[in-house]
Structure 1
Amino acid sequence: MTADDLHLLNTRHSVPSRQLGEPAPDAASLARLLEAAVRVPDHGKLVPFRILTLRGDAKLAFGAQLTAMALAKHPDMPESKREKERHRYTFAPLVLVVVAHIHRDSTVPEFEQNLSAGCVAYNMLLGAQALGFGAQWLTGWAAYDRDVAALLGLADNEHVVGFVHMGTATMDTPDRDRPSVDGIVSEWTP
């Protein structure tokens, strides 16, 4: 093993969605990325996840509907937040919606199923970077709202894990400070 073997993990960072533009991965690259992204721990082989793609006019329509929902739910929203809602889906050319598909009749705890779906979202970030693209995993109010879930056509046993915005970075993104391993790792002793 060499230092280069962990290069992707050691350089992984999110690119803010506002700094993502064209192009997004083409069909072949996206297929390769998604095939890799679903290679996650999956206790019980349940495949407790699925993925929706948002792009083009559909992505913009989704963003407009979310804006209308947000304003209806919070009519006193400050103008700065209204502006953020209006533009949230106008930057990145591709948004992948990672959905947890929970098998409630399984002996595998729901928490583990959610972790599996979360790993798909994280693998998308790694895969995008490996292919030379930028990505950001976002949640926000829309990930937890059942009206948004209905808009996306989600079943009662499904919920959004995250919206992975993807495209080409339009500027360099400085890395942020990372935690010191010394401060978070300790050895357990009996």
Structure 2
Amino acid sequence: MNDTTSLLSYLATRRSGKPRQLVAPGPSPAQLDAILTIAARTPDHGKLAPWRFVVIDTENRPEFAQMLDKAYRRERPDAGRLEHEAVAAFAHQAPCLIVILSAPDTTSHIPLWEQQLSCGAATMNLLHAAHAHGFAGSWITGWAAYNDEVASALGARGDDRIAGFVFIGTLPDSPEERLRPALGDVMRHWSPEA
């Protein structure tokens, strides 16, 4: 099998894993550096790097969980025990957790939308790089991605926003393929008569 065939096979079979199913091993520090270096090789009009990677190291997960719980309690003071347990579980999923911040340069002439697209492309590159290193990843959002207190605690400034939480680890079993859209439902050929 040549490199092109391997790449095409990879692209046709890459799957996300559910964060709660991702187990050790996760990437080593050197692998994580390589994954993030590849993630940063993304389309970036104006060379602005309008994204930031915030790694939540394992030893900091308890404090991360506490920060999330405090923010959740302020946002939803009537939340019950099960909700708080879910917040704690979220913080401790998978061996590796990276928060992606969309960090646009609002003084630039590059449109905000293009900078946000670059952030999304960097996140997808991160998932591809994790998979290429033999891991599974999952990009999710949820309430915490839209909470200003959480964003601030993670270093967001000004117009920065949380683009998502990327969990990386190993899947104990092969994931089931999920339903994909039929090409005809998401693609059409343009013509001037249309």
TM-score (norm 1): 0.93
Mind listing any 5+ residue stretches in structure 1 that lack a counterpart?
A: none
1: CA distance between counterparts of 2:181 and 2:81?
35
The match for 1:89 is 91
Q: Secondary structure of the residue that 2:100 maps to in structure 1?
A: strand
Which region of structure 1 is more displaced relative to structure 2, 33-42 or 52-61?
52-61
Q: Distance in 2 between matches of 1:34 and 1:5?
A: 19
Q: How many residues align?
A: 190
TM superposition shift of 1:136: 0.5
Counterpart in 2 of 1:149?
151
Distance, in Å, in 2 between the alignment partners of 1:33 and 1:106 is 28
What is the rounded CA distance, in whole Å, between the counterparts of 2:167 and 2:7 in structure 1? 26
Runs of 4+ in 1 over 6 A off after TM superposition: none
CA distance in 1, matches of 2:146, 2:187: 32
Alignment of 1:15-164 (within 5 A): 15-164=17-166
**RMSD of aligned residue pairs (Cα, Å):** 1.6
Separation in 1 of the partners of 2:81 and 2:113?
37
* Alpha-carbon separation, structure 1, partners of 2:91 and 2:112: 30
SS in 1 for 2:168: strand
Amino acid at match of 1:151: A
Bigger shift: residues 104-113 or 168-177: 168-177
Structure-2 separation of matches of 1:167 and 1:17: 8
| Contact 1:8 1:126 (8 Å CA) reproduced | no
CA contact (8 A) 1:19 1:171 kept: no
Contact 2:67–2:150 (8 Å) recurs in 1: no
TM-score (norm 2): 0.91
1:37 positional shift = 0.9
SS in structure 1 at match of 2:170: strand
| Equivalent in the alignment of 1:6 | 8
